[in-house]
Amino acid sequence: MGRVPSGAGSTGVPGARSSGPGPSESPLPPLDRLFTTDERQRRRPAKRGFLPPGVHVPGMQGNLPPEAQEKLEELQDLQEKAQTVAAQKQQAETQLSEAETALDELDEIDEDTVMYREVGELLVQTDYDEAAEDLEEKVDNLEIRVQSLEKQETRVEDQFEELQEELQNMLGGAGGMMGGGPGGA
């Protein structure tokens, strides 16, 4: 086995090879941002985007009054809810895109073409009009779902910002302590 010259890999270890991205291109967040030591979240990835990296919830909670601890837990719950809504919205957007693509493809084929649709584990023959109607209905329903999730996402962000402001006021207006909203701004 040949030796790779020192400094050749992106790992920073002499002789190490790396086919992955370099240190600045890593697709994964740094580990210190990925996990917390908070008891509630010891086995779960850290919630990203709400609390800035400099805020360490576990050490803070012992020094906070009970009302502030409660607000902080509510913030964490809202963050979890925001992540759930964002995941649902992304899934609905993906399904919408797929349904729109299928509808566009349907426009390109001859109406006499034999078509099948999946029903459970079976493929069942269907006609053009039925397939078009089903896809149009699916697109309409998914558009409504995406709009609903966008509104829900906005409500959660507003609730977060309001609660964050309450917590800052409770802690004596510690301005820079709590940064950014649900989007990490």
**What is the residue whose two structure tokens read 């190490």?**
16
Residue 98 has pLDDT above 80, yes or no: yes
Q: Under a CB-based contact definition with an 8 Å cutoff, are residues 91 and 70 in contact? A: no
Other beta carbons within 10 angstroms of residue 42's beta carbon come to 10
The predicted pLDDT at position 146 comes to 98
- Signed CA dihedral, 156, 161, 166, 171: sign only: positive
Burial 76-95 (b: 16+ CB within 10 A, else e): bebbebbbebbebbeebbeb
Domain spans of the chain, in order of start: 65-170
The predicted pLDDT at position 173 comes to 60
The predicted pLDDT at position 99 comes to 96
Helices (H), the chain: 31-34, 57-61, 66-108, 128-170
The predicted pLDDT at position 181 comes to 52
* Phi, psi (deg, nearest 5) at residue 35: -130, 150
118: β partners: 123
Q: What CATH number belongs to 65-170?
A: 1.10.287.370
CA distances from 125 to 62, 70, 110, 119, 161 (A): 64, 57, 15, 10, 52
Q: Does the pTM exceed 0.75?
A: no
* CA–CA separation, 92 and 97 (whole Å): 9
Whole-number mean pLDDT of the chain?
73
* CA–CA separation, 41 and 185 (whole Å): 23
* Phi, psi (deg, nearest 5) at residue 102: -65, -40
